[in-house]
Amino acid sequence: MPRAIVVLGGPIAESGSPRWTHPVVPREGDIVICADSGAERARRLGLVPSVILGDLDSIPSDLLAEAEAEGIPVIKYPVDKDHTDAELAMAHAEESSAENVLVLATSTGQQSHWIGALAAAGASAERQPQQRWEVRTSDTRFRWATTGSVLELTLDPHQEFSVLPDTDSMVISIEGGQWNLAQERIERGSCRGVHNRCLGEVVRVTSHAGRALVVTP
């Protein structure tokens, strides 16, 4: 099955994109969905856009012209709209045939955009339980375990991970951690699942009810 990569915009340092702890290696069949200036980040990461969409108020004009000349589809939305470019790009990924959706984002710049994008990805993961959703910044991975699913993490021994409720409450089990849980209910706002540690190389997070946000380096 193809993989969808949603590339969001945001500040890019003069020296280029930072070194990614988990680099993105292009695969044949990838669907690369660029939200506005995310096309610039995609180019720096060696990704070829399948589509560029958004209000196109931040993508460099020369890059947009180059993409259009190459025949890359461009979908323009009004500047005044009810959804952010990130939401529109994620909706495009939801409608794709992708089994895995990887959202590349930056946690620098306008924090409201970053927090909103993370929330939107969690909602997409809930609506599309057949898809595996991940948001990745240069140094952090955010993944979800939705009701009835098991998320298996491959980590280094003693590496930290956190499991947080992304709905009003969640019932989860954790195996392979320093502090394991068995069908434990955790309410939104609780930090019960913060800063656990992997004892071996694999941690399993099972959501029995609710949506769990799993954060790893």
Closest to 176 measured CA to CA, from 214, 141, 210: 214
Give residue 18's pLDDT: 54
**Confidence band, pLDDT 50/70/90 cuts, at residue 15:** very low
**What would the pLDDT profile of 161-192 be if each residue is shown by its tens digit?**
999 999 999 999 999 999 999 999 999 999 99
Give the pTM: 0.92
Q: Which residues contact 22 (CB under 8 A, 6 or more apart)?
A: 136, 141
Give residue 10's pLDDT: 77
**What would the pLDDT profile of 35-94 be if each residue is shown by its tens digit?**
999 999 999 889 999 999 999 999 999 999 999 999 999 999 999 999 999 999 999 999
Give residue 106's pLDDT: 83
Spatial contact of 120 and 87, defined as CB atoms under 8 Å apart: yes
Checking if the pLDDT of 16 tops 60, the result is no
Spatial contact of 188 and 157, defined as CB atoms under 8 Å apart: no
For residue 203, which phi and psi values (nearest 5 degrees)?
A: -120, 135
Helix (H, G, I), strand (E, B) or coil at 150: strand
Tell me the domains of the chain and their CATH numbers.
3-139 (3.40.50.10240), 145-216 (2.60.120.320)
pLDDT higher for 147 or 19?
147
Give residue 111's pLDDT: 82
- Alpha helices for the chain (secondary structure H): 38-44, 61-69, 85-94, 111-127
Give residue 12's pLDDT: 58
**What would the pLDDT profile of 91-135 be if each residue is shown by its tens digit?**
999 999 999 999 999 877 778 888 999 999 999 999 999 999 999
